[in-house]
Chain A
Amino acid sequence: MELKGTNISFKYSTAHDYLLKDINIELNNNKVTGLIGDSGSGKSTLCKILSNYVRKYEGEVTLDGNKLPKKGFCPVQLIYQHPEKVMNPKWKMERVLEESFGIDDELLSEFGIQKSWLTRFPQELSGGELQRFSVLRSLNPNTKFLIADEMTTMLDAITQVQILDSVLKIVKKRKMGFLLVSHDMDLVDTICDDKIYLKDINNI
């Protein structure tokens, strides 16, 4: 499986200069790739383009040669840095998970999610606990590619290991693709097979 971005360029409508220019990026499911870049360099924008959240860009994103679907479930899923910003504050965690897919107890315990957390609202859980939910709900059976945008930056080292360990197990098992965006070089060196510097592929 191959997620491919061809000649991607992007600029904000109010800006003079391009943020991303003629980026070519190829990712596949045989290896874990790390993406590294300075703050403000457009890492997150590139992630949003690859996962179909930003659609006003030049160039093309394809998954196995096909364009990403305009509606319905997107096989490329994005996980953000701040889980508290991507959950409906009026939904209990149970409903947040169910919106994606029916999750069995085995997966819950694999991710270290306690049954008692399911009846809580997002603001009653800490960032590390919420991020487990956020990761788990993105692991829908139809997900082919996972993009983690600074997924563990806000978490302590122990929680970081726990979450990445569970994710990598599932990624390997289901043969999914995984792109890790991080500025922690130690982390990228530890878990990624390959790394890409955004400034090397960005032609601005």
Chain B
Amino acid sequence: MGDLLDVENISISFTQYTKGLNQRDLRVINDLTLNIEEGEILAVLGSSGSGKSLLAHAIMGILPENAHLSGKIKFKGNELTEKDKEELRGSKMSFIPQSVNFLDPLMKISDQAIGNCKSDEERREKRIKQREIFEHYNLGPEVDEMYPHQLSGGMARRVLVSTALLSDPELVIADEPTPGLDEKTVEETLNHFRHMKEDNIGVLLITHDIHAALDVADRIGIFYSGYVIEIAQTKDFSGDGENLLHPYTKALYNALPANGFNLVKGHQPLHGEIRNGCPFYDRCEMKFDRCKNERPQLIDIGDKKVRCFKYEEGA
């Protein structure tokens, strides 16, 4: 089975004004590589404010103007230009945003879900389809006439999910779909992703919620300080985390309340404070000399990937 989406070595930086006309470049994502197969759920796990939403925006081609993107994004083996992204988004690729704040507050739900139509006939067809999908997600006819602020948290999530599925996408990118929801609604949202997987849709789940990620994802990419430091199989997050590779991932797993609530000191380097060597150098317990000035690459180990010298040959 071929890869649906390949992201190869992308970096994103922003041009910012500091004082007067002085500018600086702020690097937010560094050298990020990942891939999604058809019918696979890949979760990207990182703390809030770490820039992981930008990854979604980069794939969809909706980064702000002062952002610079380098690296390759391939969809089914073809490299995407900004123009390709524009054509694919909303049809083959769709996006589930974080909250209803992304909807137009002055437009009725059904009109937004359908979007722009060229003819009345197209509108009729789409409306029938929209009704079907909404029905499938347990949204009654009354929802069509509502405005975004009238939806409850769980309903809003269902509207966003069903709107994303309206165009029969092959890839769905979901940005933080779970925060602020109670257990029932979270479970319901995660079930939507399971259904997508059954329909052979590839899902990129961007989240900080490790429980949600462990629940539905096949593989989990760990995002640290702008780098992906490990892509692990979900089943490795078990026991004492002995199958996890990177020291940060292990620490993260053992910090969960259910796994010991273990304290680790230190904090992630801020954007713009990124050092030459390994981003985890300051906090690592098994660092080598070379980690200080040399940055490890993301290497393949079986069906996993890790960015750490410990696993390189001859280290």
Contacts and interface: CB of A to CB of B under 8 A. Distances in A.
A183 B179 contact: no
A17 interface: no
Interface in A94-141: 112, 114, 124-129
B83 interface: no
A108 B256 CA distance: 25
Interface stretch (B3-11, B42-50, B115-123, B163-171): B42-50
A67 B208 CA distance: 40
A154 B257 contact: no
A39 B183 CA distance: 9
A196 to B, nearest CB: 16
Contact of A157 (B49, B184, B255): B255
Interface string B242-264: 00000000011101111001111
Contacts of B210: 156-157
A125 B268 CA distance: 11
Interface residues of A, number: 33
B252 A157 contact: yes
A158 B153 CA distance: 27
A112 B265 contact: yes
A16 to B, nearest CB: 15
Contacts of B258: 186, 190
B265 A128 contact: no
Contact of A38 (B182, B257, B262): B182
Interface stretch (A20-28, A51-59, A159-167): A159-167
Nearest to A187: B257
B270 interface: yes
A127 B211 CA distance: 19
Contacts of A37: 182
A188 B183 CA distance: 14
A39 B185 contact: yes
Contact of B180 (A153, A157, A158, A190): A153
B267 interface: yes
A155 B48 contact: yes
A193 interface: no
A11 B255 CA distance: 39
B179 A154 contact: yes
A100 B50 CA distance: 28
Interface in A185-204: 186-187, 189-191
Nearest to B183: A183
14 contacts: A37-B182, A40-B153, A114-B267, A127-B48, A128-B267, A153-B180, A154-B179, A155-B48, A156-B208, A158-B264, A159-B47, A161-B255, A161-B261, A190-B261
Interface of B: 46-50, 152-154, 179-185, 208, 210-211, 251-253, 255-258, 261-268, 270
Interface of A: 37-41, 81, 112, 114, 124-129, 150, 153-162, 165, 183-184, 186-187, 189-191
